[in-house]
Chain A
Amino acid sequence: MAIDTSPPRSTTVDRATPTGPRPAKRLRATPWADRLAPYAYVAPFFVIFAVFGLFPTLFTFYVALFDWNPIGDRTFVGLQNFEVLFGDTRFWNALGNTFSIWILSTVPQLLLALILAQLLNNARLRFANLFRMSMLVPYITSVVATTIVFASIFGREYGLINAALQFVGLERIDFTSDTFASHILVSAMVLWRWFGYNTLIYLAALQAVPRELHEAASVDGAGGVKRFLFVTIPSLRPVIIFTVIVSTIGGLQVFTEPLLLSAPQLTGGSGRQFQTLTLFMYEQGFGNFQFGYGSAIGVVLFVLIVVFSVINFLLSRRISSDR
């Protein structure tokens, strides 16, 4: 048993530096160091998560019980914030908007992704890499940039879409004042950002489907549409459910798009027509100095998301055991 001259392995941070070439004969690690090593390796995650993830999450529940003015007083009010919240029309409005935007973005997005995945899933397709890479271009574009561009394209007076509508003789649409139109605008941004990403996910799953299955369908004389209905969709079922749930969790947190569209106000349009739950939380917390009320909204969102995550977990487990 030799003596390890290196510093104790209690932390991993000091291990981050590459050690460089070492002499061919190495000293043996002491058993206690080897026993502790695994803990040291996983510790950074747990420490960081505890301080910046777990604690703030638990603290949200605590703050939600107060009337908490970030620059003034805080008073314990028990569950009053929640009582007010559930009677607050703005909350239900934001919840409704959130779900509306979620449906408007998710359904067309996943349909589009499925179709594109089937089109891309062909070994004889030329320019396949170009097509695939283009699909990720929206993903690398920031939401801030996306929103600014879309606000211009969908602008009421000088936007491209409205210029086109006018050109074909249709009425102009004010995409930020009409409720439904504003949901379409926000959804379009979410859709744009994620449809290519989901296309690639589906494509990967489709490529795992045995070729015989596709070919059997083709030999039977099935065209693209039939193949889509009878091969693509059934074989992607677990992945589809998974992506639905992931986009639900994402959809519950849509924030930047409505914030920038409504800036400098935080109301998501003058009638709160496109204010989402996360924006409502931000408005109350950082716009109206109501940390307690804002945290209560955070708690409700938290519960919603956990519920969807659990559904995700149960569903995907059930589906994988079905197969």
Chain B
Amino acid sequence: MADEERWIDAARRGDKKAFGHLVEVYQTPIYNLAYRMLGNRSEAEEAAQEAFIRAYRHLDSYDPERPFSSWLFSIASHYCIDRLRRQRIDWLPLKEEIAEPVRLASASPNPEAVVTDRDREAWIQELLSGLPPTDRAALTLHYWYDCPYREIAEVLGLTVSAVKSRLYRARRTLAEQMEGEAYAL
């Protein structure tokens, strides 16, 4: 943590090497956030790069009282939300476009053995792609970053009760999508 504070301090003074250390530390969390949001690896990489570059350009506006991770998540998730909104025409009909989603073999006594990591990934991304961008971000921050409601609210600029509602709504929507599927993992 002390290292991180030093790097942030140095990066704010224009030290690119120090910022490079921060990129190394946060590259996977930011890339994963972008990937879960956008559902595409090359777009996720581009979004992650853009998020880091925006962060570097706006380091002056970072409030050291807040966790650096939240600030970065905020930049990355807003970038992805904007990107998805611009591509709204693409993501709205996505649900219909997916030809044959990956399903679990319900007859199998041990579905975990049947479902490969790749299938699981594809399924998760398929489920996420059916959600509105902000709900997708809330769910991602909740499950992959273990962010408490308050932090999700700060990152996404929402109230805590709006976060709870969005999580509920997202779960409800996804649960309906799982209806009829073999969901006993």
Whether chain B is bound by chain A comes out as no
Residues of B within 8 A of A (CB): none
Residues of A within 8 A of B (CB): none
